[in-house]
Chain A
Amino acid sequence: MNWNQAFTVARTDLKQLIQAKDFWVPMVILGSLFFCVVPLILLTLITQIGSVEVIGQISGALEALPASAQDQIQGDTPEAQTGYALAVFLFAPVAVIVPLTISTAVGAATIVGEREKGTGEFLAHSPAGAREIYVGKLIASLVPGYFTTAVGFAVYSLIVNLTVGPQVGGWFFPTAQWWLMILWVLPPFLAICLSLVLRLSATVKSTAAAQQASGLVALPLIMIAYSQSTGVLFGAGYMPIIVGAVAWMIALFSLNRGVRSVTRERLLGVAST
C-alpha cells in the first residue's frame, strides 16, 4: 500500500471540494441547522423561557425512555431534566445524519466524476494502484462528513453546556456514551455507507445516477445507524462497545470487498459492467 499516493488522491479531491462553494455552502448550512440552530432554539426555549406546554410534552415523552437512560438524567427541576434529556438523548440522530449525508454526497460523485471529467484517463495511465485510488477516494469522502460532525459536535457541546449546564450543576457534555458514539460507533457506520456508495460510484454511468442510487443505499443505513446510536446512548455497560465492534467488522469486510470496484477500465469508462 502506497500511502503517499492515497493521500495525494485524497488531498486533491479535498482541494477541489474546497473550491466548490456550491457544494460545501449547503453542507455547512445543513450542519449548522442540525448542530446549532435547532438545539439552540429548543434548549433556550426550555431552559430560559420555560415554556410550560413544551416541557410538559417532553417530560411525558421522557417517561417512555428505558430505565437505564432515565437513571442518567440530571437536574432538580423539570426544565433542567428536560433540557438534559433533550441534549443527551434526543439529538443523537444529528450526529449520524449529518456525516452520512455529507459523505454520501461526496462519495457518490468521486469516482464517476473522474470518468465524466475525463481525469480518470490520467489516473488509469498513472502508476497509482487501484487500492491507493480507492483508499484516497474513501478518505476524501470521509473527511468532509466527519470534519463537519467534529466541528458541529464541538459547537453543540458548547451550546448544551452553556444553556443546560448552569441548571444541572455545571458542564456535563459530552457524556461517556457520546464519546463512544462519536469515536467508536459512528466511524464504522460511515465506512459501511461509503463502501457501498463508492462501489456505486465506480459502476454507474453518471453522477446523477450515482447520487440517486447512493440516496437509496444511504437512507436505510442512516435509519440503522440512527437506531443503533440511540441504543448506544440509552444503553449501559458493554452495549456501545459491542455495537461498535460489530459495525467495525462489517465495515472492514465491506471496504475490503469495495476495493475491487475500482479498476482502470472503470476509470476509463470502458468496463462492460
Chain B
Amino acid sequence: MTSSDLTINVDSVSQWFGDVQALTNLNIQVPKGSITTLLGPNGAGKTTAIRMITGALEPGQGTVRVFGLDPASSDGEEVRRRCGVFSAKPSLYDRLDGWDNLRYAAEIYGLGRNADKRIADAASTFGIDAALDKQVGGYSTGMKTRLALARAILHEPDLLLLDEPTSGLDPESAVSVLSLIRDMTSGGRTVLLCTHLLLEAEGLADEIVIMEHGTSLVAGKPNDLASHFWPAPQVSIGTTGGDHLVLLDTAAGVLSVSIDGDRAMLEVEDITIVPELVKTLVSAGAAITTVSPFVPNLEDLYFAVRKGRESDDQPPPPVTASTGGQRRSRVAAAAAPTTRRTGQESR
C-alpha cells in the first residue's frame, strides 16, 4: 500500500506528558474509504492518537500525515477542516440549546449559508431534530451523544474520528449508530473508530489496530490476523461425559487437542477430516453431543494478541469452546490439558 492510498499515516510516533510516556513508537495506517478500528483498553493511547491526527497535539517523535499533510504544521487548519471528531466526552455547551451547539460548529467550520439545512439534516440523521430547541443541559447521555455525532458530520468531513461513539447509548441506539457509521463510508469517507468494546468493532472494522500501553501490537484486516493466529482450522467436539475424546490425540490429520471435560478443541490440517474423526469416536462407542467449527471473532483475536504479547509474542493455543463452539471459556482453556504435535507427526 502506497502513502497515496492512506488517509492517515502515523509513523513511529512517541509522545510524553511530563515523565509519562503516552505513546511509544506508534504506527497506524488507515486506508482511504475504510473503517479502521483502534482497539485497546482504557489508557492504551487511543485518544492521544486521535489528538495527534488532528494536530491538536504535536508528536514528540515520529511523523503524522493526514491527507498527505502534516497536521502539526500550518496545514493543520486544512486537516482539521476535513476531519469530523467525536470525542469520548460529548464536549457540548450545556447552557445552549441543541440548535445553537450545532450552529456554533457550523460557523467555526465556515459553512455559511448552507448551515441551517446541514444542521437540520445532521440532526435528523441521528434522530435528535425534535430536541434541538431544548437546552443541552437537560439532555440524557444518549441525546448528548447523538447531538455530538450530528456535530461531527455537520460539515461532511472526509475523515471521521470517533472516540467511543456508543458509550452511554442503549443497545438499540448503539446498533443504529454503528449502522450509520457503516453507511458513512459508502460515500468514500474514511472512519477511524476507537473503542474498547470488541462487539462494537465486530463486523464493522475493515482494518483493526490493537493498542496497548501507547503502542500498536498488531494491525491488519481481521481475517488476515485471524489466519496469522489460527493458521489451521479449529473444531470443537463434545461427547457425553467426555468419553473417548483421548482417541482424537492419535487421529490422523489432528495437529493438537485440548480437552476440557466433555469437550475437545482440535486443531486440524483440513476441515474435511472432521467427519472421519466423528466416525472414529462413534465407532468407539462415544455419544456425540456437539460438533462446531471454531470461527475466531474479534474478542478471540484481541485476547490472543494480548496473551501472545504477555508470553513473548508467542500466539496462544485456541481456547476451549463452552457452548456450541462460538463462546469459549478462557479459564477452562487455561486449565485444559493440551497436546500439540507437528504436522509430520500427525501424518
Chain A residues with CB under 8 Å of chain B are 4-5, 8-9, 12, 15-16, 19-20, 117-129, 264-265, 267-268, 270, 272
| Whole-angstrom CA separation of A129 from B55 in the bound complex | 12
On chain B, the residues within 8 Å of A270 by CB distance are: 17, 51, 57
Show 19 residue pairs from A and B whose CB-CB distance is below 8 angstroms, ordered by the A residue: A4-B107, A5-B108, A8-B107, A19-B135, A118-B87, A118-B89, A120-B91, A121-B91, A122-B92, A123-B108, A124-B54, A125-B80, A126-B109, A127-B81, A128-B108, A264-B56, A265-B57, A268-B57, A270-B17
| Whole-angstrom CA separation of A270 from B48 in the bound complex | 10
On chain B, the residues within 8 Å of A124 by CB distance are: 51, 54, 56
On chain B, the residues within 8 Å of A121 by CB distance are: 85, 87, 89, 91
Does A119 contact B51, Cβ atoms closer than 8 Å?
A: no
| Whole-angstrom CA separation of A126 from B154 in the bound complex | 12
Q: What 1/0 mask marks residues of chain B from 115 to 139 whose CB sits below 8 Å from any chain A CB?
A: 0000000000000000000010000
Most buried by A among B56, B78, B93: B56
B110 close to chain A: CB less than 8 A: yes
A-B interface, 6 closest residue pairs, ranked by CB to CB distance from nearest: A19-B95, A124-B56, A8-B107, A125-B85, A118-B89, A127-B81
Does B87 contact A127, Cβ atoms closer than 8 Å?
A: no
Minimum CB distance partner of B77 in chain A: A127
Q: How far is the CB of B51 from chain A (nearest CB, A)?
A: 7
On chain A, the residues within 8 Å of B109 by CB distance are: 126-127
B100 close to chain A: CB less than 8 A: yes
On chain A, the residues within 8 Å of B87 by CB distance are: 118, 121-122, 125
Does A126 contact B80, Cβ atoms closer than 8 Å?
A: yes
Does B93 contact A119, Cβ atoms closer than 8 Å?
A: yes
Does B100 contact A15, Cβ atoms closer than 8 Å?
A: yes
Does B94 contact A117, Cβ atoms closer than 8 Å?
A: yes
Does B105 contact A122, Cβ atoms closer than 8 Å?
A: yes
Q: How far is the CB of B53 from chain A (nearest CB, A)?
A: 9
Most buried by B among A12, A16, A129: A12
Minimum CB distance partner of A271 in chain B: B17
CB < 8 Å neighbour of A125 from B56, B90, B95: B56
On chain B, the residues within 8 Å of A123 by CB distance are: 108
Does B100 contact A12, Cβ atoms closer than 8 Å?
A: yes
Minimum CB distance partner of A124 in chain B: B56
Does A268 contact B51, Cβ atoms closer than 8 Å?
A: yes
User: Can you name 16 extra interface pairs (CB under 8 A) apart from A12-B104, A15-B95, A272-B17?
Assistant: A4-B107, A8-B107, A16-B93, A117-B94, A119-B91, A119-B92, A121-B85, A122-B151, A123-B108, A125-B161, A127-B77, A127-B80, A127-B81, A264-B56, A268-B57, A272-B18
Contacts between chains A and B (CB distance < 8 A), count? 83
On chain A, the residues within 8 Å of B204 by CB distance are: none
Minimum CB distance partner of B81 in chain A: A127
| Whole-angstrom CA separation of A118 from B94 in the bound complex | 11
B291 close to chain A: CB less than 8 A: no
Q: How far is the CB of A222 from chain B (nearest CB, A)?
A: 29
B169 close to chain A: CB less than 8 A: no
On chain B, the residues within 8 Å of A8 by CB distance are: 104, 107-108
On chain A, the residues within 8 Å of B89 by CB distance are: 118, 121
Does A12 contact B93, Cβ atoms closer than 8 Å?
A: yes
Q: How far is the CB of B159 from chain A (nearest CB, A)?
A: 11
Q: How far is the CB of B94 from chain A (nearest CB, A)?
A: 7
Q: How far is the CB of A47 from chain B (nearest CB, A)?
A: 44
| Whole-angstrom CA separation of A271 from B91 in the bound complex | 19
On chain B, the residues within 8 Å of A268 by CB distance are: 51, 56-57
Q: What 1/0 mask marks residues of chain B from 197 to 229 whose CB sits below 8 Å from any chain A CB?
A: 000000000000000000000000000000000
Minimum CB distance partner of A120 in chain B: B91
Q: How far is the CB of A273 from chain B (nearest CB, A)?
A: 10
CB < 8 Å neighbour of B96 from A16, A126, A129, A267: A16
Does A4 contact B96, Cβ atoms closer than 8 Å?
A: no
Given known A-B contacts A8-B107, A12-B93, A119-B91, A125 and B100 have beta carbons under 8 A apart: no
Given known A-B contacts A264-B56, A272-B18, A20 and B108 have beta carbons under 8 A apart: no
B83 close to chain A: CB less than 8 A: yes
On chain B, the residues within 8 Å of A272 by CB distance are: 17-18
Q: How far is the CB of A77 from chain B (nearest CB, A)?
A: 53
On chain A, the residues within 8 Å of B80 by CB distance are: 125-127
On chain A, the residues within 8 Å of B161 by CB distance are: 125
Does A264 contact B57, Cβ atoms closer than 8 Å?
A: yes
On chain A, the residues within 8 Å of B85 by CB distance are: 121-122, 125
Q: What 1/0 mask marks residues of chain B from 6 to 25 whose CB sits below 8 Å from any chain A CB?
A: 00000000000110000000
Given known A-B contacts A5-B108, A8-B104, A118-B91, A125 and B18 have beta carbons under 8 A apart: no
On chain B, the residues within 8 Å of A126 by CB distance are: 80, 105, 108-109
| Whole-angstrom CA separation of A264 from B252 in the bound complex | 63
On chain B, the residues within 8 Å of A15 by CB distance are: 95-96, 100
Does A125 contact B108, Cβ atoms closer than 8 Å?
A: no
Does A16 contact B17, Cβ atoms closer than 8 Å?
A: no
| Whole-angstrom CA separation of A51 from B171 in the bound complex | 77
